[in-house]
Amino acid sequence: MSERKCAKLVLEDGAVFTGAAFGADGERAGEVVFNTAMTGYQEILTDPSYKGQIICMTYPLIGNYGVNEEDLESPAPQAEGFVVRELSRLHSNFRSTGDLSSYLARYGVVGIEGIDTRMLTKHLRVAGALRGVLSTADMDDASLVQKARAIPSMEGANLVTAVTRKEPSQRFKVEKGAFFHDPFGAENGKAYHVVAIDCGMKANIVRLLNCAGCDVTAVPADLSAGDILKLNADGLFISNGPGDPAAVKSVIEALRGLVERMPVFGICLGHQLLGLAFGARTFKLKFGHHGANHPVMRLSDRRVEITSQNHGFAVDPDTLEAAGLELTHVNLNDKTVEGFRHKTLPVFAVQYHPEASPGPHDSNYLFGQFIEALKTGKKK
């Protein structure tokens, strides 16, 4: 470690972790969270839901299969910083086009290795997610603590504006033969048209909507309900994204004008925004759910799904009934809400990531459920 540049991760409560730098030189700040996935670090880093956060990986060896241009969930890393126990010096995979450290350096993301990530994870589990600074430039502990305490809180932060697209996309078209079944969702080979509100949408969501038989038009998060209705969609999808859902008022307002007009499917932040649109409340979790191995029970048949998750807020279960919503999925670790549906409208949402990139495929059926809603749901 003496031959390599020193880096420090300092938390707002005064905890200091000293290790070796990789990736870019400099200083980055954000909320420090831990992710329990064992693989998929490139998809994790490029997930827009991590905007404003420094990620600590609990799996000890990261970087061994390098990086490539095919597994990006967005065009560049979105995380503010990256924390690992050990960065692999070698990368070996037939799809690899480069190493992780060089990739992070290219995009200005600071990394630190050689710290006790188990200790950091335990610290965050006890104290909750904390603001932190990751630096290769400032080695003064007191200075870094003050910088960490000056970081804006994640509560009240609308980070969707930093990751949503600026203009509506051209339609992402279904490719012939791409359906899960032949055809899974289309009637007479004709695809459904779905508008996706991009709150920080991962690339694999579009791929799986295409595979399910949907052409997709992705739109900015500030588009009004009226403008969305002009696109004449068969259904609406609300994506994942970063920050506090209660602060994303433009989407909440738009949803109130859309939920009675067409079938709606939301995931992650979209799940929370739908809850708020119907009058439920959200709250901040102590340390969030980040990883690819979270058990969720589907209440209709008590089937357990292993799910991919990345969120720091959740819907308050005590507010579902008054909002006209019915609980459909529950987290088996902490009993938080993982899914709901509206009691009378073709509207449903899950808190986890059924597109699972990275992660298991237990929840792919939800895209089929959306297709069924498009078949039977009525547009007004």
**CA of residue 211 relative to chain centroid, distance:** 20
Please give the Cα distance from 271 to 363 (Å, whole number). Answer: 15
DSSP 171-232: PBPPPTT-SSSTTSS-BTTBPEEEEEEESS--HHHHHHHHHTTEEEEEEETT--HHHHHTT-
Q: Helix-strand-coil percent breakdown of the chain, rounded to 5?
A: 25, 30, 45
199 annotated active-site: no
Cα–Cα distance list, 316 to 121, 254, 287 (Å)? 25, 21, 16
Residue 355 phi, psi dihedral angles, 5° rounding: -75, -20
**Which pairing describes strands 337-342 and 325-331: parallel, antiparallel, or unpaired?**
antiparallel
Opening angle at CA 362, ends 93 and 364, nearest 5:
90
363: β partners: none
353 annotated active-site: yes
Helix (H, G, I), strand (E, B) or coil at 98: strand
268 annotated active-site: yes
Please give the Cα distance from 61 to 291 (Å, whole number). Answer: 16
Closest CA to 192 of 210, 176, 169, 218: 210
Instruction: Kindly name the residue from 199, 268, 294, 338 that is annotated as catalytic.
Output: 268
Q: Are 329 and 297 in contact (CB under 8 A)?
A: yes
As annotated, the active-site residues are: 268, 353, 355
